[in-house]
Amino acid sequence: MRYFSIIFVLCLTLSMVQAQQTSFVNPFIGTSDDHGQTDPSATIPFGMIKPGPETIPRGNGGYDYQSQQLKGFSQTRMSGVGCIGVGGNLLIIPFVGTACKTLKMDKASETAIPGYYSVTLDNQLKVEITTGRTAAIYRFTYPATETAGIKINFKHSYGKHIAEEHSIIGDNAVKGFVRSACTCDLGSYKFYYYIEKDKSTYKPEDNDSELLWKFQTEPNEQIILKIGLSSVSAEEAEANLKKECSNQSFEQIRTNARIAWENLLGQIQVETSDEDLKTSFYTRLYHACQTPFTINDYSGSYKGSDGKVYSQQLPYYHGWSIWDTYRTKYPLLSIVCPMEYKHMISSLAELYKQGKPRSATKTEPFLTTRTEHSIITILDALQKGMFDGSLDELLPLMLKEAEDISNDSPDKALERGYDFWGVSELAGKMGNKELKKEFSLRSKEYRPIWLQKFKDIGPTSDIMHGDGLYEGTIWQYRWFVPHDFDWVIATLGSKKKVLSELDYFFENNLFNMGNQPDIHVPFLYYYLGAPWKTQKLVRQILLEPTTNYYGTHEKWEKPYIGKIFNTTPQGYLKEMDDDAGTMSSWFVLSSIGLFPVCPGIPYYWINAPVFDTVTLHPTSQQEFKIHVNRPDAECIYIQKAILNGKVLNRSWLSYDEIMQGGDLTLELGKLPNKHWGHNTDFIKSLFKK
């Protein structure tokens, strides 16, 4: 495909001038136990195939850093999602001796960097993996043995295995498809593969859903195994493999993967003497750019969620977790990689035409999770000038989705109100005044429920799943009406009253950074004209030990007191899934001092960055630079902001101001400047446009 050729050339060019951001990425961060559910698989940005290790026991991405035992190496996964994860297909098991023996790792040999994974097993068999977008290449280095081999398990998956078919081609290749359940066993996906190896062998053994290749090896003999994927057919999978792997060596493919990551990570350059902080930052940015997957074949073909085959030369993205990612990830990607972001939004719009449900269909072309709040995601892109599709065609489909949004629990009522507001705003963009008015009124239907359940806080307000809430407490969901927060302020009586209650919320450790429903709440102080409170609080969450009482489903008897974001395998708070990069994106945005006001409104709060300098490259022609004048480490409060040489008294930037490039200088001091950012009248006007 022409598009991917252009991107590759750009990657090569930009890599010549950018620093080695990949050296600050540690893919093992967040891979231990239930501290992020990330994985160390080899991958390129938004790549379809993600080959990596499967440990015993495993995390949701197939891997647990604490384990020393391996099942083998699978080809698909979705980073950080809940339940038991999704993927884990096509398990490759290299062996010496018997194929049934559990593989044991030499942990000291284990290496993971962007685009590459390697480990040596206790039988001296070395495994190296690198990857392109749709195809992966394995390099196995065997000891001298008469009993070497490779086994493929076609049934292996994290969710329910549904079906598989394979056919052997000669002695060294196999093709077929696998079908497995999506996340939480909701819906299913089916994709095709083509696998080949370069070692002459005896005739392969085909045993039910396992294939066994046996061979002899000389000392340090290397065997190459290649795997191509497609959502359309095994023939397209083979063509994808040949496009990416046929004329390039293992090392060339590995270099290409590194260059792709350098190009993307280099879109944000941060300067600090704290290398641990830099590692945390670039690893989180790396985690944010794992999904969605680009699933076009190089011919342009792909399957939609309706099971039909489509074709386009521009990238088609799939693999959504929007209930999480609309909050932080897509507002981040709109700045970091606007061209890719624009194609993601177009792909999301196409999903509506394919009959998009809130979760997965039974005919998904690849791994996916959930798509609630797509309305807000598309609205946000439209407000940023990043959606070129037809609202005439799309809005009726969104209306149908909006009418089907559940209202059977207090949290869903609040979320539905937000989506109804999104429909109203989209209708306004079309000039449909009646529909805009109708859904503006309906966006307020949550208010009686809010008054009943959330206005008066009592003894039951700190119960996880209380009143049927999904994942959180009354306290935590209370603030989730970003489109109507002025009404909340008026209902509680005054900004002073809300400030007092927010202070109580944080001072009594009622906040849960481990899950999404209240991750925007630290920034609500901006709405109240007290941004200095956010500046202190967010810095604490990013860098300092805090007291945390909440997991995903319960409040702990004893709190965890420590840092939420670490650069160890326990890289996130206990039970804190990264959720397809949502939490990583929160870290990235918060740490560079730009946080979305309210997805659907194209503005970002200006917070105090934790870096000395932040340089954004939103386009190849533009650069937006944030200079931080911090006399010493105790200076954490914004005293003065200067945008392009002019004093800036407001506490927000528009998306356009960032994307057009420029210079923002922030003067920091030890004491709060309670005059800077105090006026919030402009925010009201945003919601009236």
The 10s digit of each residue's pLDDT in 664-684 is 999 999 999 999 988 777 666
Number of residues that this document lists for the chain? 689
Name which of 344, 313, 317 is nearest 2 in CA terms.
313
Distance (Å, rounded) from C-alpha 287 to C-alpha 269? 16
Distance (Å, rounded) from C-alpha 439 to C-alpha 432? 11
Name which of 144, 139, 100 is nearest 124 in CA terms.
144
* Pair of tokens at residue 602: 């194209």
Name which of 167, 191, 471 is nearest 303 in CA terms.
191
Distance (Å, rounded) from C-alpha 101 to C-alpha 160? 24
* Sign for the pseudo-dihedral over CA of 159, 477, 654, 391: positive
Fold that domain 270-288+312-687 belongs to in CATH: GH92 mannosidase fold (3.30.2080)
* Pair of tokens at residue 293: 């997957």
Q: How far apart are the first and last CA of the chain?
A: 41
Residues of the chain with CATH 2.70.98.10: 31-260
Phi-psi region of 8 (alpha: psi -120 to 50; beta: other; left: phi over 0): alpha
| CATH number, span 31-260 | 2.70.98.10
Exposure string for 149-163, b = 16+ CB within 10 A, e = fewer: bbbbbbbbbbbebbe
Q: Compute mean pLDDT per 10 residues along the chain, 689 residues long, and list them.
A: 45 49 97 95 98 95 96 96 93 89 92 98 95 98 95 96 96 97 94 94 90 95 98 98 94 97 97 97 98 98 97 96 95 97 97 90 95 95 95 92 88 95 96 96 96 94 92 95 95 96 97 95 96 98 97 93 97 94 98 97 97 92 95 96 96 96 97 90 64
Distance (Å, rounded) from C-alpha 58 to C-alpha 666? 45
Name which of 146, 169, 143, 149 is nearest 214 in CA terms.
149
Q: What is the pLDDT of residue 174?
A: 97
The type of residue at 116 is: Y
Distance (Å, rounded) from C-alpha 254 to C-alpha 248? 10
Rg (CA), the chain: 25
* Residues with Cβ within 8 Å of residue 41, at least 6 apart in sequence: 27, 50, 51, 52, 53, 61, 62, 63, 77, 117, 129
Distance (Å, rounded) from C-alpha 550 to C-alpha 574? 9
Distance (Å, rounded) from C-alpha 576 to C-alpha 617? 30
Neighbours of 479 (CB within 10 A): 21
Using CB atoms within 10 A of its CB, is residue 226 exposed (0-12), middle (13-18) or buried (19+)? Answer: buried
* Pair of tokens at residue 52: 């990596």
* Pair of tokens at residue 70: 């391996």
Name which of 442, 431, 346 is nearest 402 in CA terms.
442
Specify whether the CB–CB gap between 379 and 322 falls below 8 A: no
* Sign for the pseudo-dihedral over CA of 337, 342, 343, 344: positive
Distance (Å, rounded) from C-alpha 232 to C-alpha 135? 14
Distance (Å, rounded) from C-alpha 67 to C-alpha 55? 6
Neighbours of 202 (CB within 10 A): 12
Residues of the chain with CATH 3.30.2080.10: 270-288+312-687
What is the DSSP code (8-state) at residue 121?
A: B
Name which of 146, 105, 112, 99 is nearest 126 in CA terms.
105
Q: What is the pLDDT of residue 149?
A: 95
Distance (Å, rounded) from C-alpha 295 to C-alpha 301? 9
Name which of 449, 448, 443, 447 is nearest 423 in CA terms.
443
pTM for this model (two decimals): 0.96
